Amino acid sequence: MKEFFTGKGIVGGGIVLLVLAVALLAPLLIPDTWATQMDMRSRLAGPSTTYLMGTDQLGRDLMFRMLLGAQTSIMIAGTAVLMSLVIGLPLGVISGYFGGWIDNVLMRLVDTLLAFPALLLALTISAVLGPNLTNTIIAIGIAFTPYLARIIRGEALRVAQMPYVEAARAVGTSDTWMIIRHILPNIMPPIIVQATISLAFAILAEAGLSFLGLGTQPPDASWGLMIQASRDYLDVAPWTALVPGAAVAITVLGLNMFGDVLRDVLDPRTK
């Protein structure tokens, strides 16, 4: 565990902890109204002592919206990515490891899903299921699954051809054990990296859905919704985009660093 506490590990871990703390604690400590309270006299106001990070087009405090939006964004993105992992991992591993007709069938399915842009797919699913939080998560989760499944399949295929897998087969290891002991640990590093990147895209995907009225419903805040709302005011009030944008960027950066260090910690070769 000592390897974790390098510069990168401390910063990455710190950011992840901070973001999680905000997502969990902000709704408990900050009253909802602080983020939905409109102040028509100070619309699009710059950062000041009253509004530390400025206000949006309706005169709402951006800092509180950002803090309160964290929970929605993190929960939707996190759960969606987790869901796409839960579906995509077995799909990809089975496809890559067994190959043959199983691979063909599963991958044609995935290809079909890949033919649609992820956002369009999420939009369709969300439109069919109806606009609420759970359905948004399901929509994003399904839309992201084919990308992860593809990457995981490629990795599984590569690892399945390694001599140590053949060696394990020669000592009578069953397929189940083979996947658990030999395939999974060896395909983890690229999956961790891909998952952290997917998180960033999931936050933005949620924004897209919200913008179209299918994700977070106003007046609730989410980072994606804030970014979407800011696009008309970029020239007069850039902070409306910068505040939620920085939140997304810092979260993704932290997750990336965390993922990197996690990968190194898990890899016995770097010890």
Partner 1 sequence: MTKPIVEIVGLRVGFGGAAAVKDVSFSIQPGETVCIVGESGSGKSVTSLSLMRLVEFGGGEILDGHLMFQRGDVTMDLVTADAATMQSIRGNEIGMIFQEPMTSLNPVFNIERQLTDGLLMHEPLSRSKARERALELLREVRIPEPERRLKQYPHELSGGMRQRVVIAIAMACRPRLLIADEPTTALDVTIQAEILALLNRLKREIGMAVMFITHDMAVVAQIADRVVVMYKGDVVETGPVAEIFAAPKAEYTRALLAAVPRLGDMAGQSAPEPLRLVGDTHDPKPLTPRATPEPLLEVRNLTTRFPVKGGVFRRTVAQVHAVEDVSFTVNKGETLSLVGESGCGKSSCGRSILRLVEATSGTVHLGGQNVLAQTKHELRGMRQHMQMIFQDPFASLNPYMRLQAQLTEPMQNYGLDNREERAAQLFDRVGLPRDFLRRFPHELSGGQRQRIAIARALAVSPGLIVADEAVSALDVSVQAQVLNLMMELQADLDISYLFISHDMAVVERVSHHVAVMYLGRIVEIGPRAAVFENPQHTYTKSLMQAVPIADPNQRKLDGDLAFKPIPSPIHPLDYQPHQSVYETVGLDHRVLVQAG
Q: Which stretch binds partner 1 (CB under 8 A): 4-12, 103-111, 226-234, 263-271?
A: 263-271
Closest by CA position to 188, among listed 262, 81, 111: 262
Nearer to partner 1, 164 or 234 (CB): 164
Cβ–Cβ under 8 Å, residues 122 and 140 = yes
Give min distance, CB of 268 to partner 1, in A.
Answer: 4
Size of the site for partner 1 (CB under 8 A): 22
Q: What is the largest CA-CA distance in the chain?
A: 76
Residue 104 interacting with partner 1 (CB under 8 A): no
Binding mask 106-145 for partner 1 (x = CB under 8 A): ----------------------------------------
Among 14, 177, 234, 249, binds partner 1 (CB under 8 A): 177
Give min distance, CB of 127 to partner 1, in A.
Answer: 39
Residue 168 interacting with partner 1 (CB under 8 A): yes
Give min distance, CB of 165 to partner 1, in A.
Answer: 8
Nearer to partner 1, 48 or 161 (CB): 161
Nearer to partner 1, 104 or 134 (CB): 104
Measured distance between the N- and C-terminal CA atoms of the chain, rounded to whole angstroms:
10
Nearer to partner 1, 7 or 163 (CB): 163
| CA–CA distance, 88 with 85 (Å, rounded to integer) | 5
| CA–CA distance, 108 with 101 (Å, rounded to integer) | 10
Give min distance, CB of 103 to partner 1, in A.
Answer: 13
Cβ count near 183 (within 10 Å): 23
Query: Which residues, in sequence order, are CB contacts of 111 under 8 Å at separation 6+?
Result: 146
Q: Which stretch binds partner 1 (CB under 8 A): 26-34, 71-79, 97-105, 260-268?
A: 260-268
For residue 53, give Cα distances in angstroms to 46, 65, 151, 271: 7, 10, 40, 43
Nearer to partner 1, 186 or 216 (CB): 186
Does the N-terminal peptide bond of residue 219 adopt cis geometry, omega within 30 degrees of 0? yes
Residue 189 has which token pair? 């590093």
| CA–CA distance, 88 with 54 (Å, rounded to integer) | 41
Q: Could you list the residues that contact partner 1 (CB under 8 A)?
A: 162-164, 166-174, 177, 181-182, 185-186, 266-269, 271
